[in-house]
Structure formats: structure tokens, C-alpha cells
Structure 1
Amino acid sequence: MVVKVKTYKLPPTSLIPNSPYPLLHYPGLLRSEVSSPDFSTTDLFDLFARNGWQSQWIARYGPDIQSHYHSTTHECMAVISGQGATIRFGVADSKDWDHGKFPLGDRADGEEGGLELQAAMGDVFIIPAGVSHKTFKPRPGTQSLTFHQPEDIKEGKAKHVTPEKEKARREFFGNVVVEGEFMMMGAYPYGGVWDFAVGGEYKGHEEDVWHVPRPEKDPVLGLSEEGLIGLWAGNQEIAKQEVY
């Protein structure tokens, strides 16, 4: 497999901690797998699990979602369906953001700048703790977000890992219908429970987010140096970053 990866360093803003670790984008890394007529979400569940990452949701995206970051864990998002979408990283929406305020899926108002990437089938994104992100303008367009998540994970019990629980979670994801809309599957290192921070929560305490431990494996590439194991290796000693 030829691995293509794009890396992006996103400095802190006045509202978003972002991270010394680079955002990783693997264009089309899983395209052949998710495009196969035999593809099942359980295949992805198993791949992530082998590499120490727990699948926690599948989402069908609507026109817009609030820009947010996770302060407690790193995240992997893999595109499993649809023609594409725009994902903006690194900045916050305005405080008065609301669902339906931007029905055409505009980038919304808020902090200037950030990084906008086009997501396509089979793309994989590894988002360091603290890096904000929002997915909008999915293709084909849909009117609302549909979020599929096992009930126990929804209740905050992701850390409760037993063979029986993981079997039930695997079965749950296997029953999610994947059609033509833009959909992604999200995973986190086992033990990671994500929060939903929208900006300003860690102002002055960004280093608390920057020191979330590095995962032991890349969710797709495992121990390969082509993945986060190699790409994040030089960032283990985190120095104070300047907030602009």
C-alpha cells in the first residue's frame, strides 16, 4: 500500500488550544475497502480495534455542525460514504452559532482563518486533542445530522471494555445502514472519552490539552512509521506555544 499523508500544524487561537501535534489527513487511504460491495462497518470496527482504537459513532452529516474540539482524547474520522464534504479545522464559531442558522452549509461566522480541507470517500483524518473541527456542505446534501452511537457509549461508558460489550458494540455498528449520504465513522484510543468543547474553555491552560498521551498505534497503519507513530514522534516534548 502506498500511503499518502498530508500534515498540518495549527497554532493556538484566542479560543482554541489546537495542538503541537500535526493534524493528519490520509487521502483515500481506505477507498478500496469502503467502496467494495462487500464492505461492512464491522471491518472498520475490527481494524480500529486491532490498533487500540475504539469505534464510538457513525454520523450522517447535515448542512452544518458547530465547530468543536475534544480536550480529553485524540480522534480518528474515516469517510465511509458520500461524494464529499468540507471540514474546517483550527478556529471557533461565533458564540451565537445555532443549528439551522446557516441552512446552506456556509462556514458560519466566528474566528477568521483556519484550514479548510475537502473530504472524500476513504479519507482518514487523525485529529489531535485540542484541534477544532466542523463538517459542513456534505454532498449529496442532507437536511439534518443523524448520529449513531451505542447506548452505553452515549451514557459515557466507553471505558467499560469487556469482550461481551465490544461484541455488542460491533453488532450495533454492523446494523447501521450505509447509503449514499456523506457519512463518517469515529474512533478514539481505548479509554478515551470525548467531550464537546466549543472555545475558550482552556484559555490560559492550553497545556492541559496538549499533554493528552500519544496513542500507542495509528488507527489504520498500526506501528508503521508512515503513520502517527513516525509523524508525531518529534512532538513528544511539548514546549509552550504562543497564542495569537
Structure 2
Amino acid sequence: MPTVTPHPLPPTSLIPSSPYPLLHYPAILSRNTACNPAAVHDLFSSNGWDTQWIYRYGPTQRSHYHSQAHECMAVLTGRATIRFGVADTSDDLERSTHGDGHEQGGVEVQANAGDVFLIPAGVSHKTYDTRPVAEFALLTPGDGHHIAAADGDVRAVLAATELSGFTMVGAYPRGSVWDSCTGGEHAQKLRVVHAVPKPERDPVLGTAREGLCGLW
């Protein structure tokens, strides 16, 4: 029986959040699958989710959320901390990561290879303290909203992607277009976030009740 941990995250003064909980699937991918982006792509695709990027994360990043799409992230290599549910309040990345430059509340989760996160539209996230340490980079061709493949064979591109550092692969329900917001757009975005439809299938568990079909 797969273990899925739900994290309900209330709205803050800067983040709209979602009526759906953040879902964390610890170590749900086998070691062989986790380090095989093509295999993860096959799993997501079979459930109607499109793989759009692989990023290698740097030491920290700005907290952000997507108002127009739910997001699934699978950890391929490395480990890190991810803070969900609150906005940065300082432009100083060190202060917003390890100091007082962020809203209080939210949840911090340790992310390891094989973990999957299902992030509802409106829920903020910030990845930091990555190991191994590396520079931030988009590892797949394209603009982060799609994977460019000359012959349309996205799977072949993913299979050939070299992984290093802390890497995650991201997928979105088929047909979704995502934006990126850093907080404070609450009034304009709340209605948009709540209008994002619930997907028909969980990206990992399909129609099983242990996933979003039972928890959202």
C-alpha cells in the first residue's frame, strides 16, 4: 500500500494556497525508476500528465506558486529541503532561506530521490539546501514549459539527459499552461486558483483512492 502524506496549507496574506492539500509520496519511486527520467515520463504520461522539464536546483531559489495549473515534481537525484505554503518577504535569498525573510507557517519537507510531490495550484514552494551542491540549470532542451525534441520523441530526449546534483522532473495535467507568481497577487489570483479543475487521474497512482482521487 503506497504511503501518501497530505499537508493542508491555509492561505496567508501573500499566498492564495488551495482547498486541496499538498501531497507527498515518500520514496514511492524505486531507485531504478527515480534515476530514469524516461521511466518517470512513461508513468506520468500513462495517467494524463505531460513532462515539461528537468531542472538541476542550485543552493536556493525564490518562493513561488503557479496559479493556473497543478504541478507534480519527482525527485530524480540528490536531496534538499522544500518549504511549502509561505512567501518570501525579502529579496535577500540568504535571509529568505535561513533567516526571517519569509512568512511564518507553511511546512518544510525533506526531499530525497524517489519522492514525488503533488502541488495544488496556489501553493507556494521553495527548494533549498540542495545536495550535492551545484549550479541551477534547465537540463532539458526547451523553455521549461515543454521539452524540445526535433523528431517529437520526448522520451528519447529524457533518456539521454545527464543528471547531476539535486534534480527534479516536472509534469502538469495534459493541456495545462502554467505561470509563476511570487506572492502578493492574492486578490487577482484567488479566483483563478480555485477555478483550476481537479485532474481525473493521479500522476503516479492513477485512479487509486490513496492518491488525489481520494485525497482531493
Q: 2:160 aligns with which of 175, 187, 212?
A: 175
For residues 48-74 of structure 1, the C-alpha deviation after alignment (integer angstroms, 9 at most, x for no partner) is: 111000001111111101100000000
Residue 112 of structure 1: aligned partner: 104
1:89 to 84, 87, 108: 84
Matched ranges for 1:1-244 at <5 A: 2-34=1-33, 40-82=36-78, 84-97=79-92, 101-102=93-94, 106=98, 109-142=101-134, 144-151=135-142, 154=143, 167-179=152-164, 181-203=165-187, 205-232=189-216
Call closer, same or farther: CA 1:205–1:167 in 2, change over 3 Å: closer
Aligned counterparts of 1:77 and 1:113: Cα–Cα separation in 2 = 22
Shift in CA distance, 44/141, structure 1 to aligned 2, threshold 3 Å: same
Decide which structure has the larger Cα Rg and report it.
1
Q: Determine if contact 1:67/1:198 at 8 Å carries over to the other structure.
A: yes
Name whichever of 209-218 and 25-34 sits farther off: 25-34
The whole-number CA distance in structure 2 between the counterparts of 1:54 and 1:166 is 17
Aligned sequence identity (%): 50
In 1: Cα distance, 2:130 partner to 2:167 partner: 9
**How many pairs align?**
215
Instruction: Measure, in 2, the Cα distance between the counterparts of 1:167 and 1:107.
Output: 45
CA contact (8 A) 2:33 2:39 kept: no
Per the alignment, do residues 166 and 27 of structure 1 end up closer, same or farther by CA in structure 2, a change over 3 Å counting? farther
Normalising by structure 2, we get a TM-score of: 0.90
Unaligned runs of 5+ in 1: 159-163, 233-244
CA positional deviation for 1:95: 4.9
State the one-letter code of the partner of 2:117: F
Contact 2:48 2:174 in 1 (8 A): yes
Scaled by the length of structure 1, what TM-score is found? Answer: 0.80
Asked if 1 retains the 8 angstrom alpha-carbon contact of 2:62 and 2:126, the reply is: yes
Contact 1:59/1:183 (CA < 8 Å) preserved in 2?
A: yes
The Cα shift of 1:173 comes to 1.7
Deviations 1:108-129 (A, max 9, x none): 7121222101111100000000
In 1: Cα distance, 2:140 partner to 2:101 partner: 29
Taking the aligned partners of 2:94 and 2:172, their CA distance within structure 1 comes to 29
* Distance in 1 (alpha carbons) for counterparts of 2:205 and 2:144: 30
CA distance in 1, matches of 2:115, 2:209: 19
Amino acid at match of 1:31: S
- Note the aligned Cα RMSD (angstroms): 2.3
Residues 148 and 107 of structure 1: CA distance in aligned 2, closer, same or farther (over 3 Å) = farther
Amino acid at match of 1:86: T
Residues of 1 paired with 2:160 and 2:213: CA distance?
32
Cα distance, 1:165 vs structure 2: 7.7
